[in-house]
Structure 1
Amino acid sequence: MLEISNFVADDRLAKDIAAGRKLKRPAQDPQRLAEQIVHRTRAGAGVDFDVFEALLGENDLVEINYLERGLLAARTVCRINVPAPVGDGSEWGTGFLIGPRLLLTNNHVIGSVEEAMTATVEFGYELDGEGRLKRSTRFRLTPQDGFVTSDRNALDYTIVALAPMSEDGDVALADLGFLRLDPRTGKTELGQYATIIQHPDARTKRISLRENKIVKYGDRVDPTRDNFLWYSSDTAPGSSGAPVFTDAWQVICLHHAGVPDRRMVQGQEHWVLADGTTAPAALARRLPADKVHWLANEGVRISKLIADLERQSKLDGFVRSPLIADLIADATGVAAFAGTVPAQSIIGPPLIAAPAIATIAAVAAEAAVLEAARRPTRRSHPAAFFDGRRGYEADFLPTPIPLPILGAAALRHGAPAKVTGAADDVLRYMHFSVVLNGAQDRKLAFYTAVNIDGTRWTNLDRGDDAWFYDGRIPEELQNGDELYGNEPVRRKNYFDRGHLVRRLDPVWGGIREAKLANDDTFHWTNCSPQYWGFNQGADLWQGLENFLLYNTDEEDVRASIFSGPMFRSDDELHRGIRIPQFYWKVIAVADKAGKLFTSGYIVSQQDYALDIPFEQLPVGPNSTKPGQNFQVPVTKIEADTGVVFPDVVRQADVYTGPTVGRRLRTVADVQHPRR
């Protein structure tokens, strides 16, 4: 992912660099020298006689803490993967943290909210002291929490928010620290050294330390080029978005492009190649990077980047974000990030704690404080978060299927929880709906209903399994980690957090729509306690779900699926909640002629089945093995749950086995208004 600068160097500079001649530093302006000393002091790097000589170009020595501070800075740098269109592989780049939950990279690495939603970032992809690959950590991007970009033909930057916890839930983003952006000029000068931390060619983290000097500092003649710095350094495709540092580990620019050696040949732009020959620019652009003779690399000056960010924030239509507002306030000196020292360049915990003598009580107290700081707060989405959600659509199939209604047998186990803003007490999410049992010993869904569009289905990464309370219902009516276990320290519990609407079922449509549907499934209202053997792998419940979902995807059909726990009076109490012994599903699909087919299934948490075969339409027996077929008449599900389906569902039932259960024929059996 090596971008190419469109800037044509002035002939003298180009010839000096191409010839390998040493660039002379200009006479040091005492005012600029004083500014650099102030910058180093604010950055926490310190100033002594060696540093003074280094700034004058007479001494290349640095303090040994240069290495330790470099490791601190390196923790903030990640590699970025953005899936390319189908068949085009993936694109890679580099990025780095610039504030609490904020990442900086190039626009040509992540150019839109849609790309951010599919991208993954990976920290710690590097070798340890023995040459072994460390355990890396992946985070999801959350552009809905903050996103600003500048076109690649302008300043070529993107700032985007990240999730506060890693995908596996083991690492807090705050533990990695960040690099503060300083908009003041004077941090470096022509001939001084630059350092780049990067992921070239998507490889392990590398650092460019040797023979790296600033060769061009802005352009006071051409204002359009004053936004950039040139520096001699080794980079490669995938380095785009890397931070470029001074010896004080202050970020001076965002790496974004290589500058090729250009020549005009008979009025046409040619590039000089590594072997000394030239080629037309149009051809040279398509050559591998190592075939081109590069004059330098180019980065976006941080001072110009911050100025552009501040300018964009004042435009009409700018999407406001507290994270972005805090970044602007910190960078412009209005207010520092909470808990940080103003102007400090590297923010984060030390690599190794300072030695200390302390009592056991003091150590325990400090550990308790750290644990409390790390522990995520109760995640909740306010009612307004769900504005615009249409939920399950009754007319999704050629034959409309309204939501089921709750009969007397269902209401024996509790009344529906009242939903703020919904007179019918239906919780509407992206492509699915939930009706929740509000009884204190249940707090589980009566049923869920989801639409699946196999023609528009996509497979998104699972993410970090962050479950949220739904603000439309009181939190005390939703089962959270108090039922399933202590999530922050990931203690294994007997029950999994089982999705009733499977995570992948509603994930279809445009990327924003699909991601929103994916995230909506991680609400406690859609969660149900399922034995680990029942929920995971190729076991009963997941086998049935795979049977239903993948057939709709492979056959590009539409389907509506209804699911829920079966409430029984003999369900055992666990942590104050009655645990369902059985779960049920009813699927409705239409063939190419528009004919409706339905099928019902009941699965026990006490039995297991493997190797469930797929069929052309996901209806009918899900297994031919004796004792492993879960198909039952829809009427049995009605009889056992009290959840009553419309007549069209019963009439389309493909079940042909023996009669089981009581058939509910009319709404006279129902004592709850239609939803």
Structure 2
Amino acid sequence: MDNTQHDQDAEARYHRRAPERAARLDDAAKGIIDFSEMARLDTRRDMIHPNDGLGLERILGTSDLLEVNFLDIGRRAGRAVGRVQVRDGAGRVREFGTGFVVSPALLLTNNHVLPTADSARHSLLDLDFEDDEQFNPRPPVMFGLDPERFFHTNEALDFTLVAVRPAAVDGGAPLAAYGFLPLNETKGKILLDEYVAVIQHPGGAPKKIALRNNKLVDLFDDFIHYTTDTDRGASGSPVFNDQWQVVALHHAGVKRRDAEGRVLSVDGAVWTPPMGEERVAYVANEGVRVSSIMADLRAAAETLPAAQRALLDELFAGSPASTPASGTVTPLTTAERALELFQRVTGYEIGFLGPTVALPTLSAAQLADAAPRLDGRGHVLEYVHFSAVLCASRRLAYYTAVNIDGRKTKTIKRDRDVWYFDPRLAREHQTGPDLYERNDLDMGHLVRRNDPVWGRPAATANEDTFHFTNCAPQHKHLNRRTWLALEDYILNNADNHNLKVSVFTGPVFRADDMTYRGAYQLPAEFWKVVVMVKPGRELSATAYLQTQKNLLEDLEFAYGAYRTYQVPVTRIEAITGLDFGPLRDHDPMAVLESAGPARVIGEADDIRL
């Protein structure tokens, strides 16, 4: 692929700033402080994960240490990077490039890799084109590109954004299984002298990563320069900072030249044809800043048809600049965790209490609408100490089920909310941050954050609760004090030998639920069934119902009353369509004739056990 002009422009920028770079290095050696750089450092500090204790030290250059999870996060990031097969109309491979998935449907690469919609129409994206731990090649999974659905390119910034077909050409895992790399349109994600990493397919080879000799040496309005090793075919690669945020799109190189301006080879000799391009020595590489790409897309969005704007909205949803300061969405709201994290998770245990307490049974209609796992393993999603089953059409859980062990609970501070899509489900079966933006809706945990946080995997359990599969839209003024106190009260009154409780929770789906933003039906009621072992080893199953109906009638101004009720388990079965089996026989509301159809719960003492 011809990238001559971009290389020449990059070289011009590099050499024009040579005196400034030399002066900066001289000032640093003399201990002269650059106060403008200190201001940028404050911005950069805000982008470090609060749990990354060494992040600031790495930025300041006082430590090269990394947490070992750096490798895990990088491995996850690499899943969305693939080789672009640039093909002609006859299907012949002409060149290779690199690209990476940046939203549920869009791929980012260079303009000089895919300059036109026609070039994209015939080309393919290879994911998993890499070697495994034994250096054996993994079978690549190929995806077609869909420029009719979306195609936007900018020659000056050398980027192309194009839609990817969701299903693999060869029947492999779907595109959703690989996740994507969110683009943060905020500036300040990288500082001079920080290290970058580039995941790439050099020369069309299996996936590689450049981690060494990779300092950022210069910053421009639209470009950055860094010393990372790359090669032909690396065009279109993501350039990452130490937090694995994408800071640039790699696109060009700065050739090493002698005093007379002649290009040098890697062995120091003057490079001349027929020496191959791979023998050219480079002094730096250039990437297009993500903030500049996003600014161009923001401007372009105004002129696009609605369907294409919707695809860009998905892209912008992952950027903190698109999120109101008062919102609950964070830069990683649209993150997706690696499939490997779920391999050994068993989820809710039916024998946890001693007597068997099975998962609720779906009706035939519910089963037909249950969101299927992408791996073909049914529809139950297992997390640490809890499970969930989602309704595909409503994109919310039919129910969640959690085991709580009060003897082993741990306290984990909630530093911030980072919500995940579950890679085991298709993205269209999950709600995302767009439901919760610019309104009074909270991402309400169904399984409480503290419930599964016990035992050795407590930290993972805490993280697991922050999946979109475990949240539902709840008005911010919904008073959950009584609702949340229910489990604490029942846990404290459980058999002292066990101190164990199992809890089922979910929304009530009604046909007349309010339709919001033309895409979501908001549940007005939530239910909970709490199961414990009483003295004498008898089960007790109590059911509760809470409404936010008055609050949803006006999302901007309503402050209506809420109610929490204790109701018979059979009442929950009737309004949800779920079957709790023998639990209905262990319900005190069912055996006390005076209990009535429902009891208003104002405080814990109102509960009948």
TM-score (norm 2): 0.52
Which residue number corresponds to residue 410 of structure 1?
Answer: none
Which residue number corresponds to residue 290 of structure 2?
Answer: 302
Task: From 251, 261, 264, give the equivalent of 1:272.
Answer: 264
Please tell me the residue identity of whatever aligns with 2:166.
P
- Corresponding position: 1:348 with 2:352: no
The structure-2 alpha-carbon separation of the partners of 1:278 and 1:318, relative to structure 1 and needing over 3 Å to count, comes to farther
Question: Over residues 588-628 of structure 1, what are the superposed CA-to-partner deviations in whole Å (9 max), with x where a residue is unaligned?
Answer: xxxxxxxxxxxxxxxxxxxxxxxxxxxxxxxxxxxxxxxxx
Task: From 35, 41, 58, give the equivalent of 1:33.
Answer: 41
Q: CA deviation at 1:324?
A: 2.2
CA contact (8 A) 1:14 1:261 kept: no
Which residue number corresponds to residue 559 of structure 1?
Answer: none
Which residue number corresponds to residue 165 of structure 2?
Answer: 163
Give matches, 1:500-515, under 5 Å.
none
Question: Over residues 623-655 of structure 1, what are the superposed CA-to-partner deviations in whole Å (9 max), with x where a residue is unaligned?
Answer: xxxxxxxxxxxxxxxxxxxxxxxxxxxxxxxxx
Please tell me the residue identity of whatever aligns with 2:63.
N
How many residue pairs match? The answer is: 354
Which residue number corresponds to residue 9 of structure 2?
Answer: 6
Which residue number corresponds to residue 210 of structure 1?
Answer: 212
| Percent pairwise identity | 33
CA contact (8 A) 2:182 2:315 kept: no
CA contact (8 A) 2:180 2:336 kept: yes
Please tell me the residue identity of whatever aligns with 1:366.
V
Please tell me the residue identity of whatever aligns with 1:93.
G
CA contact (8 A) 2:84 2:124 kept: yes
Which residue number corresponds to residue 46 of structure 1?
Answer: 51
Please tell me the residue identity of whatever aligns with 2:240.
F
CA contact (8 A) 1:146 1:321 kept: no
- Corresponding position: 1:69 with 2:66: no
Q: Counterpart of 2:9 in 1: which secondary structure? A: coil
Q: Counterpart of 2:185 in 1: which secondary structure? A: coil
Q: Counterpart of 1:253 in 2: which secondary structure? A: strand
Which residue number corresponds to residue 348 of structure 2?
Answer: 358
Q: CA deviation at 1:294?
A: 1.1
Which residue number corresponds to residue 180 of structure 1?
Answer: 182
- Please give the alpha-carbon distance, in whole angstroms, between the structure 1 residues aligned to 2:267 and 2:379: 65
The structure-2 alpha-carbon separation of the partners of 1:5 and 1:227, relative to structure 1 and needing over 3 Å to count, comes to farther
Q: CA deviation at 1:334?
A: 3.4
- Please give the alpha-carbon distance, in whole angstroms, between the structure 1 residues aligned to 2:38 and 2:428: 51
Please tell me the residue identity of whatever aligns with 2:208.
R
Instruction: Flag structure 2 segments of 5+ consecutive residues without an equivalent.
Output: 351-357, 360-376, 382-387, 393-423, 430-609
- Please give the alpha-carbon distance, in whole angstroms, between the structure 2 residues aligned to 1:276 and 1:35: 40
Q: CA deviation at 1:88?
A: 8.4
Structure 1 range deviating more: 203-212 or 84-93: 84-93
- Please give the alpha-carbon distance, in whole angstroms, between the structure 2 residues aligned to 1:161 and 1:132: 30
Structure 1 range deviating more: 180-189 or 361-370: 361-370
Which residue number corresponds to residue 314 of structure 2?
Answer: 326
Runs of 4+ in 1 over 6 A off after TM superposition: 14-17, 20-26, 85-88, 316-319, 375-378
The structure-2 alpha-carbon separation of the partners of 1:114 and 1:12, relative to structure 1 and needing over 3 Å to count, comes to closer
CA contact (8 A) 1:82 1:118 kept: yes
Q: CA deviation at 1:51?
A: 2.1
Task: From 179, 193, 196, give the equivalent of 1:194.
Answer: 196
- Please give the alpha-carbon distance, in whole angstroms, between the structure 1 residues aligned to 2:27 and 2:281: 18
Question: Over residues 131-171 of structure 1, what are the superposed CA-to-partner deviations in whole Å (9 max), with x where a residue is unaligned?
Answer: 111122111111111111011xx100000011112123342
Please tell me the residue identity of whatever aligns with 2:233.
G
The structure-2 alpha-carbon separation of the partners of 1:89 and 1:344, relative to structure 1 and needing over 3 Å to count, comes to closer
Q: CA deviation at 1:47?
A: 2.6
CA contact (8 A) 1:227 1:304 kept: yes
Q: Counterpart of 1:180 in 2: which secondary structure? A: coil
- Corresponding position: 1:105 with 2:105: no
- Corresponding position: 1:120 with 2:120: no
The structure-2 alpha-carbon separation of the partners of 1:93 and 1:346, relative to structure 1 and needing over 3 Å to count, comes to farther
Which residue number corresponds to residue 61 of structure 2?
Answer: 57
Q: Counterpart of 1:143 in 2: which secondary structure? A: coil
The structure-2 alpha-carbon separation of the partners of 1:23 and 1:135, relative to structure 1 and needing over 3 Å to count, comes to farther
Q: Counterpart of 2:39 in 1: which secondary structure? A: helix
CA contact (8 A) 1:260 1:295 kept: yes
The structure-2 alpha-carbon separation of the partners of 1:163 and 1:253, relative to structure 1 and needing over 3 Å to count, comes to same
- Please give the alpha-carbon distance, in whole angstroms, between the structure 1 residues aligned to 2:164 and 2:303: 24
- Largest Rg, 1 or 2: 1
Q: CA deviation at 1:12?
A: 7.4
Question: Over residues 165-212 of structure 1, what are the superposed CA-to-partner deviations in whole Å (9 max), with x where a residue is unaligned?
Answer: 212334221111111111111111111100010011111110111111
Q: CA deviation at 1:349?
A: 3.0
- Please give the alpha-carbon distance, in whole angstroms, between the structure 2 residues aligned to 1:35 and 1:128: 38
CA contact (8 A) 1:79 1:121 kept: yes
Q: Counterpart of 1:107 in 2: which secondary structure? A: coil
The structure-2 alpha-carbon separation of the partners of 1:232 and 1:251, relative to structure 1 and needing over 3 Å to count, comes to same
CA contact (8 A) 2:88 2:122 kept: no
- Please give the alpha-carbon distance, in whole angstroms, between the structure 2 residues aligned to 1:327 and 1:365: 28
Q: Counterpart of 2:46 in 1: which secondary structure? A: helix
- Please give the alpha-carbon distance, in whole angstroms, between the structure 2 residues aligned to 1:289 and 1:345: 42
CA contact (8 A) 2:21 2:218 kept: no
- Please give the alpha-carbon distance, in whole angstroms, between the structure 1 residues aligned to 2:203 and 2:223: 23
- Please give the alpha-carbon distance, in whole angstroms, between the structure 1 residues aligned to 2:15 and 2:204: 33
Q: CA deviation at 1:90?
A: 1.4
Q: CA deviation at 1:327?
A: 2.0
Q: CA deviation at 1:86?
A: 7.0
Q: CA deviation at 1:95?
A: 0.4
- Please give the alpha-carbon distance, in whole angstroms, between the structure 2 residues aligned to 1:119 and 1:22: 49
Instruction: Flag structure 1 segments of 5+ consecutive residues without an equivalent.
Output: 219-225, 379-675
Q: Which has the higher contact order (CA 8 A, sep 6+)?
A: 1
Q: Counterpart of 1:40 in 2: which secondary structure? A: coil
TM-score (norm 1): 0.47
Q: Counterpart of 1:201 in 2: which secondary structure? A: helix
- Please give the alpha-carbon distance, in whole angstroms, between the structure 2 residues aligned to 1:112 and 1:239: 19
Q: CA deviation at 1:310?
A: 1.5
- Please give the alpha-carbon distance, in whole angstroms, between the structure 2 residues aligned to 1:198 and 1:262: 25
Q: CA deviation at 1:229?
A: 0.5
- Please give the alpha-carbon distance, in whole angstroms, between the structure 2 residues aligned to 1:212 and 1:23: 19
- Please give the alpha-carbon distance, in whole angstroms, between the structure 2 residues aligned to 1:272 and 1:318: 50
- Please give the alpha-carbon distance, in whole angstroms, between the structure 2 residues aligned to 1:234 and 1:273: 14
Give matches, 1:62-461, under 5 Å.
62-84=66-88, 90-151=94-155, 154-218=156-220, 226-262=221-257, 265=260, 270-278=262-270, 288-315=276-303, 320-328=308-316, 330-331=318-319, 333-334=321-322, 341-344=329-332, 347-350=335-338, 351-353=340-342, 355-356=345-346, 358-359=348-349, 361-362=358-359, 366-367=380-381, 369=389, 374=425
CA contact (8 A) 1:183 1:303 kept: yes
The structure-2 alpha-carbon separation of the partners of 1:207 and 1:375, relative to structure 1 and needing over 3 Å to count, comes to closer
- Please give the alpha-carbon distance, in whole angstroms, between the structure 2 residues aligned to 1:329 and 1:357: 30
Q: CA deviation at 1:289?
A: 2.5
Which residue number corresponds to residue 577 of structure 1?
Answer: none
Q: Counterpart of 1:178 in 2: which secondary structure? A: coil
Q: Counterpart of 2:203 in 1: which secondary structure? A: helix
- Please give the alpha-carbon distance, in whole angstroms, between the structure 1 residues aligned to 2:241 and 2:19: 23
CA contact (8 A) 2:254 2:282 kept: yes
Question: Over residues 239-260 of structure 1, what are the superposed CA-to-partner deviations in whole Å (9 max), with x where a residue is unaligned?
Answer: 0000000110000000001111
RMSD: 3.8
